[in-house]
Chain A
């Protein structure tokens, strides 16, 4: 019963390097989200997807790209990492009707440090 799985859980990058965070869910959810969490700032939405092949920008999309080629996977890419992208990243998913109520199912987070 995996739920939402994020990989990797920890990563250290140098400025300018690229990387991809993978989110996989096995609940057949339509909606998927990437949030970042910084001290004192709660969770901020980076990008989201309302279905396979669709993506949209959230509050803080700059410096990130995403892809949803398969319904169960949502990838978050950093093309040229910057120290400001040091954060904990959370993936979440939900059913469409849950989109009416709002409950999200979260992965356990990926801690990224950019030096």
Chain B
């Protein structure tokens, strides 16, 4: 059975801290791994990763994929209160239907 597991499930940090969120997966026919940020409403797209070892970066956020060890990490440096959200990891296991398999999410709270 395909599975995506995120850790930790929740995290509380203070502004300025650096955080690392983890995502491991067991999915047949891996195509890509995606990170989403979810604040109050709909998830919004952050990154898509398809190749091992290539870091994707956007401002203070970065992510990397290890296809040998079947995991990805999402790093957030110099955290701000606006980074407080649920971070979702999802894996695409089939190119025919576009179905994403989601992890449980990591709830990040950044305190002032």
Contacts and interface: CB of A to CB of B under 8 A. Distances in A.
Contacts of B98: 31, 33, 48, 50, 94, 96, 98-100, 102, 104
Contacts, number: 77
A44 B104 CA distance: 9
B99 A42 contact: no
Contacts of A58: 99
Interface in A78-115: 90, 94, 96, 98-104, 106-109
Given A94-B98, A100-B95, A102-B90, A41 B43 contact: no
A90 B50 contact: no
Interface residues of A, number: 28
22 contacts: A31-B98, A40-B9, A42-B4, A42-B88, A44-B102, A48-B97, A50-B97, A99-B96, A100-B31, A100-B32, A100-B98, A101-B48, A101-B92, A102-B31, A102-B32, A102-B34, A103-B34, A103-B48, A106-B44, A107-B42, A108-B42, A109-B41
Q: Is the interface of A mostly helix, strand, loop or mixed?
A: mixed
Interface in B66-104: 88, 90-92, 95-104
Interface of B: 4, 6, 9, 31-32, 34, 41-45, 48, 50, 88, 90-92, 95-105
B92 A102 contact: yes
A45 interface: yes
Q: 6 closest pairs, A vs B, by CB?
A: A99-B98, A102-B92, A106-B42, A42-B102, A43-B102, A108-B41
Contacts of A35: 102
